[in-house]
Amino acid sequence: MNDMSADTMLSYLYGLPEQFVSSLEMKFDFVDRYRKNYSNIVVSGLGGSAIGGDILRTMALEQCTVPVIVNRDYTIPHFVNSSTLFIAISYSGNTEETISAYNQARSQGAEIICLTSGGKLQEMAAQDGFAVINVPGDLVPRAATGFLLAPLVMFLEDIGIFSAGRKALQETVTVLQQQRQMLQPESSRPENQAKDIASKLKGAIPIIWGVSGFSEAAALRWKAQINENSKCPAYYNVFPELNHNEIVGFELPEEILKNLVIILLRDDQDHPQVKKRIDITCSIIKEKVKDIIEIHSQGESLLARFYSLTYPGDYASTYLAMEYGINPTPVKVIDYLKKQLAL
């Protein structure tokens, strides 16, 4: 493998467990203001800053009595009002869609809290009298998921919306530290699952399949990491929905099918019928695609199991960039797009 300046991203990935450890030391002196009965929670963010919202939404399916939605847009739902808890996440603090959504949420009377490392979002929140959770700003957003999630889990636990949030974060640290030993560069194939996956993905088109609810956001995370780190196309879908459409598309054209690698994200707590669907689907397509790779979750809490599915993808996408001899860290196309939008 050619490491081609991959050290920066690899150091970011290595430090993920410590993001949780650092976050667990945070204290919030503003929680009393936010202890209210909300009718809904809206988390607004884009790209790497939105992954925290995706995980919060997934956690909410297990323990939240009000709906939680993730908003990736300039605009917000009409139902946002004074009984909405609106969480604005922008790692840089300058994401234009999130700033636009924040302004609308303020106009519609929502209770707002922001998570950012600075920028315009922090300035506006301070001016408007809303709380801000500040996180370190020396990473790229997609490598800062610990900072973009853990403080919000703790905050939502403090205001009575989540339970056992800190316990889940502590277990996640343990699981990630254990995984890290087998994923870091010093570990070789075949023991290093991420390197093994990267070698199989080189020259192929990855398709990541998760399960609706628990691992849908994990599949999206895999896709986005391959897009941004490996600079490759990748696609995702979820069971059981894909059994009602996508599965029919594995007949033609054969030359493309032979170049597909399916990555299956599996969890012991998946619905029994979903487990059966996955097995049957694999039997249908196994002779038609290049490979099928299974990733199995580890841990007890939803949060630990979720991150145990995504952490190998973080490393695999970086190793895939190294296989192609490119630097995984820059996202020049996104930078160019932002400059063009500013004209």
Q: Which residues are catalytic?
A: 228, 244, 338
Query: Position 246: which residue type?
Result: E
Phi-psi region of 8 (alpha: psi -120 to 50; beta: other; left: phi over 0): alpha
Q: Which residues, in sequence order, are bridge partners of residue 291?
A: 261
DSSP string, 3-32: -TTTHHHHHHHHTHHHHHHHHTT---S-HH
Query: Residue with structure tokens 């939105």?
Result: 50
In 3D space, the residue among 168, 152, 20, 29 whose CA is nearest the CA of residue 86 turns out to be 152
Radius of gyration of the chain (CA): 20
Sheet holding 68-71, edge to edge: 68-71, 40-44, 84-90, 111-116, 131-134
Strand residues in 38-83 grouped as ranges (E): 40-44, 68-71
> CB–CB of 115/133 below 8 Å?
yes
State whether the Cα torsion 180-138-152-26 is positive or negative: positive
DSSP state of 299: S
Report the alpha-carbon distance of residue 55 to residue 59 in Å, rounded.
6
